[in-house]
Amino acid sequence: MRNYTISVIPGDGIGKEVMPEGIRVLERAASLYGFTIAQKWQDFACCDYYAKHGQMMPDDWKAQIGKPDAIFFGAVGWPNTVPDHVSLWGSLLQFRREYDQYVNLRPVRLMPGVPCPLVGREPGDIDFWVVRENTEGEYSSVGGKMFPGTDREIVIQETVMTRHGTDRVLRYAFDLAATRDRKHVTSATKSNGIAITMPWWDERVEEMAKNYPTVTHDKYHIDILTAQFVLNPDRFDVVVASNLFGDILSDLGPACTGTIGVAPSGNINPDGTHPSLFEPVHGSAPDIAGKGIANPVGQIWSAAMMLEHLGEADAAAAIMRAVETVLAEPGLRTGDLKGKANTEQCGKAIADALT
């Protein structure tokens, strides 16, 4: 029997509502495919914990998490009570950095039967990966405030890109493209306006590409790239981007397939020296939290990515088949996909469809 241990961190808002559906599907997959998943639930990395303790996580959070095979995460943030930069820098961004999860892998795929907001697009037209740099770039803590509260106030936040950090995520993107049919990498740049870091990013892409003679590549400035996502999504195979550009593209891509509610992500430490973390792309959605109507597919697809990462490829593929079966049924979809089901009904339908 194969046995895995995961750390389960539901977080805030709809994170707490979609997590049980992710767990339901994981448990069913484990029983069908002959492995066990031991769950260690954590009560931190959420704004309730902050209300009690004045910080998002205990000082010894790493010791409390221990050495799980992976971390299964919901969503964090409750801006009415804790400012977003405090809650996010105190939790999710800590995990990404401290566990050196330098790749944020985010698939974008139009599923059969799902109403596509882009007219005339079929499944297969939209099927690509966003590979987002996840530990540096525009998300830096280098900078500061001067003369606060005066009319001379200055705020500076530096973008930090290292050769080590950039090359390793580019290598991951080219390696991924080399395994795919189309073998194509698109780089998101802005080297016309951001005249130090982005021309340098372009150079690193060119250098990396030399190692991959079978992989083609091109680049678009981020502004027109967002337009191309909408107008010509069939152009893309693997899209590699800096931290902020990747963040934006990985909401836009799934929105082009119907909803961000289905989008999953893997915050991957490819070296395997630290646990990787799997979570939906979406946030805690305060506007719909508490109603039981959130789409659980982003969490469930994240479970499939986690199983793939653990080496349970058959179970992961089975989950994706079940997701496709259910999403093709309007009656089983949630409201963001013009369906009538609630979170639990959709999650149960996916668990029941698993074979």
Tell me which residues touch ligand NAD (CB under 6 A): 14, 75-77, 79, 84, 88, 92, 260-261, 279, 282-288, 294-295, 298, 336
Q: What is the DSSP string of 240-276?
A: EE-HHHHHHHHHHHHHHTT-GGG-EEEEE-TTSSS--
In terms of CB distance, is 247 or 279 closer to Mn ion? 247
Q: Which residues partner with 293 through β-bridges?
A: none
* Strands 277-280 and 127-133, bridge-based pairing: unpaired
- Decide: is 127 part of the binding site for Mn ion (CB under 5 A): no
CA distance linking residue 284 with residue 3, whole number of Å: 30
- Decide: is 248 part of the binding site for ligand IPM (CB under 6 A): no
Question: Looking at 247, 308, 312, 336, which residue binds ligand IPM (CB under 6 A)?
Answer: 247
Query: Among residue numbers 209 through 238, which ones bind Mn ion (CB under 5 A)?
Result: none
- Cα 231–256–345 angle (5° rounding)? 160
Residue for token digits 């951001």?
194
- Decide: is 133 part of the binding site for ligand IPM (CB under 6 A): no
Which stretch in 4-12, 93-101, 171-179, 247-255 sits in contact with Mn ion by CB under 5 A? 247-255
- Decide: is 88 part of the binding site for ligand IPM (CB under 6 A): yes
CA distance linking residue 258 with residue 321, whole number of Å: 18
Q: Report what 198 binds from ligand IPM, Mn ion, ligand NAD, none; CB cut-off 5-8 Å by kind.
A: none
DSSP alpha helix (H) spans, the chain: 15-33, 47-53, 61-65, 84-89, 92-98, 163-178, 197-209, 222-231, 243-256, 297-310, 313-327, 343-353
* Strands 70-75 and 277-280, bridge-based pairing: parallel
Q: Report what 295 binds from ligand NAD, Mn ion, ligand IPM, none; CB cut-off 5-8 Å by kind.
A: ligand NAD
- Decide: is 133 part of the binding site for Mn ion (CB under 5 A): no
CA pseudo-torsion sign 233, 235, 239, 244: negative
Question: Looking at 57, 70, 188, 281, which residue binds ligand IPM (CB under 6 A)?
Answer: 281
- Decide: is 255 part of the binding site for ligand IPM (CB under 6 A): no
In terms of CB distance, is 88 or 320 closer to ligand IPM? 88
Q: Kindly state the smallest distance separating residue 41's Cβ from ligand NAD, in Å.
A: 17
- Decide: is 138 part of the binding site for ligand IPM (CB under 6 A): no
- Decide: is 277 part of the binding site for ligand IPM (CB under 6 A): no
CA distance linking residue 156 with residue 143, whole number of Å: 5
Q: Report what 285 binds from ligand NAD, ligand IPM, Mn ion, none; CB cut-off 5-8 Å by kind.
A: ligand NAD
What are φ and ψ of residue 137, in 5° steps?
A: 70, -135
CA pseudo-torsion sign 31, 32, 36, 42: negative
- Decide: is 12 part of the binding site for ligand IPM (CB under 6 A): no
List of residues contacting Mn ion (CB under 5 A): 247
List of residues contacting ligand IPM (CB under 6 A): 88, 247, 281, 283
